[in-house]
Structure 1
Amino acid sequence: MPQTLPRRVLVVDDDPTVSEVVAGYLGRAGFSVDRAADGPGALERVAAAPPDLVVLDLMLPGLDGLQVCRRLRRGGAVPVVMLTARGAEEDRILGLETGADDYVTKPFSPRELVLRVESVLRRSPPGTVRGGDVLCGGGLLLDPAARTARDARGELGLTLREFDLLAHFLRHPGRVFSREDLMTAVWGWEFGDLSTVTVHVRRLRHKVEADPSRPRLITTVWGVGYRFDAQGTGRCA
């Protein structure tokens, strides 16, 4: 049986102590780790050898983490876990709005970061991604095995979590999910910051709705959660 190569993680942090500690914990968890100390260096490493995931500090010289995350999103769908020394909610939400799949606030437990990285990668090829039939609904076509989603305009540039969130909605049309339900089903967490779900629903609406301010596909059920309302949703023939 061929040996499975370790998943590759790029750690981007200008603090050498933090970078060394994070790389050490990830290495002991079985990951292959590369490091960069600034934004331009991170982009060069990603271009030369795309990693499976990037652990990205928000405050970086050259280009900050938000700028790097935006450029990574334009270039592909590499998952990003963002590190921030700032605990304000607006900073966390800004990171998620930029396209980060998750975030960890400094000071953090390195073991917690490893668990977050493992959680994100479980949803990312070539991990244990749930395959199955192609899903249709609301003018959307989603192929779980190929990790592609399209509408009449063409392929949708969805992040890792956005893709899994849309797949979950398409598999359960007409059912209302609370934010706690979605965090468990899509993120695989029993607890966490529910604003993560709110931000990802908003980002997904901007990509799949004709008018995100008046959504017809992903509707809000006030006081309960969200529901996917398209007719004819389900597995495609």
Structure 2
Amino acid sequence: MLQKFGFTQYESQVFEVLSASHQPMDASTIVRFSQVPKSKVYEVLNRMVEKGLILSSSTDRKKLYNAVPLETIIENLTTEFEANVEDLRNKEYTHTPIDDRVWTVKNSRTISSLTKELTENANSSIYISGWNEHLKALTPLLEQKKNEGVTVEMLSVGELESSIPQTHVLIPNEGHEALERYQLLIVDEKEILFAGIEQGEWQGIQTLSRSLVKFFTEFFYHDVALTEITKKYENTLMEDESIKKILMKLRY
């Protein structure tokens, strides 16, 4: 009977047995008449007490249970249903659109200002990479965000002084073929700003696109991994001409 109102089969069986009895019952008697397994009966009874379906009383000898009057149950269910209907009627549903647009950014000053603004607004994490000449001006702000509890990890092409523990430094090799001026900023793992030089002018993209944020985050850690591996095993790697030739073609 109670299953129609969202209660379990066991709860319904116990309630029917207690409602039909003119006397309180103990757990063993309830098991015998309700067919609820003995291993489950106390769990079911405790849950029903919490839901206000039955009453319990402890004596010196045993614990007894009695059903709450059916009219009281009906009144409670009706009140709860009406309250839920009212909540549903008053609930305001909002849809947060996914912004996958990619914005083009030009002009070095605009890129610098936007980089600073995004960094200042970071709440949880900042991953940033670029050449030391660009990162130097941002370092005090990055250190401040680190002190505020924001996770900051940085990859600098060229020497850079910083108190941020997660600072990786790549010293360019003159043999690098693909090292170009660039900068990458990933804020809170949800927004990126990537910029580089095209035809002698700085230009870049800014986006909240999840797929691009994921791609550039992997891109960032690809560079970090290569930087640390090369730093640790540089002598061995550079002695192998075939490996050296491949490394010199990489962008990092």
Larger Rg: 2
With normalisation by structure 2, the TM-score equals 0.26
Q: Which structure carries more helix by proportion?
A: 2
With normalisation by structure 1, the TM-score equals 0.27
